[in-house]
Amino acid sequence: METQLSMLVLEVRDLEASVAFYRDLGLEVPDPQPGRPLVIHRMGSGVSLLLTTSFAATYDPAWTRPAGGYQQLLEFYVGDDASVDRRWADLVAAGHPGRMPPTQTAGPYAAMVDDPDGNVVLLTSDEGARVDGAAPGTS
């Protein structure tokens, strides 16, 4: 059996703020249920994004929230270069910190923005990150 990434868990400080950010990003994240400190959104790729305020602290007594910097990038394929431009502009206009404006990198055309917890979200037009089964160069 092939080992596969099935879920990305993000420890967040404010569940409602994180839900709003990922909705602004374009994900159809459901409303949190009363009394549950988490929300799960399953993406078309099959990978789930779980936002929680307490999983690590509950099950790992040695866990501490990182104080600064970032250790990972969450890459989201958003379409063509113009889609990267629009999505970045919309997120920054909504008050989310822009880390890198849309730029042709040594690889894909990309932009970076911080989510409410300082996780860096990479917006890209990299066809290699597309998982919906469409052939590169098609919509």
The CATH number given to whatever domain includes residue 85 is: 3.10.180.10
What is the pLDDT at residue 49? 95
For the chain, 139 residues long, give each residue's pLDDT as a single digit of tens.
Answer: 787 889 999 999 999 999 999 999 999 999 999 999 999 999 988 899 999 998 998 889 899 988 878 878 899 999 999 999 999 999 999 999 999 999 999 889 999 999 999 999 999 998 877 777 554 455 4
What is the pLDDT at residue 126? 86
Does 137 fall in a domain?
no
Does 70 fall in a domain?
yes
Does 84 fall in a domain?
yes
Amino acid found at 121? V
Does 138 fall in a domain?
no
Does 11 fall in a domain?
yes
What is the pLDDT at residue 134? 58
- In this structure, the dihedral spanned by the alpha carbons of residues 105, 107, 111 and 115, taken in order and rounded to 10 degrees, is -130
Token match 């409410």: residue?
Answer: 116
Structural domain boundaries, residue 99:
7-129
What is the pLDDT at residue 74? 92
- 8 A C-beta contact, residue 48 and residue 40: yes
Domains in the chain: how many in total? Answer: 1
Does 139 fall in a domain?
no
Does 60 fall in a domain?
yes
What is the pLDDT at residue 101? 97
Does 135 fall in a domain?
no
Q: Is the pTM of this model over 0.85?
A: no
Name the residue among 118, 30, 125, 114 with its Cα closest to residue 76.
125
